[in-house]
Amino acid sequence: QVQLVQSGGGVVQPGGSLRLSCSASGFTFSSYGFHWVRQAPGKGLEWVAFIRHDGTSKYYADSVKGRFTISRDNSKNTLYLQLDSLTSDDTGVFYCARDPFWSDYWGQGTLVTVSS
């Protein structure tokens, strides 16, 4: 069955960096694009980034452009999100999700806390 297992969250200081991972199984990873979505505490859902199945196209929300980098390793069936120049506004739960959204496969979420 399709599984997306996330790791890499934690506490980081403002200005710091973190890399999130999303490990996939149960399907042909290299055939699908992926998204990252986040939710700040008490706030709504925010779409963050997308990467095409072959990694050739990437799209970002304006709020993270230039600070976050989405990538993938198809040989490891793993999706990544590199978070740099973090601020307190980046605190929240991050989810990976397989494209298209209507296929409805999500990771369990991982918490990123930006705090000094």
Partner 1 sequence: AIQMTQSPSSLSASVGDRVSITCRASQDIRSELEWYQEKPGKAPKLLIYGASRLQSGVPSRFSGSGSGTDFTLTISSLQPEDFATYYCLQDFNYPYTFGRGTKLEIK
Binding site for partner 1 (CB under 8 A): 35, 37, 39, 44-47, 50, 59-62, 95, 100-102, 104, 106-109
> Residue 53 and residue 48: Cα distance in Å, rounded?
17
> Residue 19 and residue 46: Cα distance in Å, rounded?
18
Q: How far is the CB of 93 from partner 1 (least distance, A)?
A: 9
**Degrees (nearest 5) of the Cα angle 53, 57, 62?**
120
Nearer to partner 1, 13 or 108 (CB): 108
Q: How far is the CB of 61 from partner 1 (least distance, A)?
A: 5
Among residues 69, 96, 78, the alpha carbon closest in space to that of 29 is found at: 78
Nearer to partner 1, 6 or 86 (CB): 6
β-pair type (68-73, 34-39) = unpaired
Nearer to partner 1, 108 or 115 (CB): 108
Q: How far is the CB of 116 from partner 1 (least distance, A)?
A: 26
Q: How far is the CB of 75 from partner 1 (least distance, A)?
A: 26
Nearer to partner 1, 12 or 33 (CB): 33
**Secondary structure class of 103 (helix, strand, coil):** helix
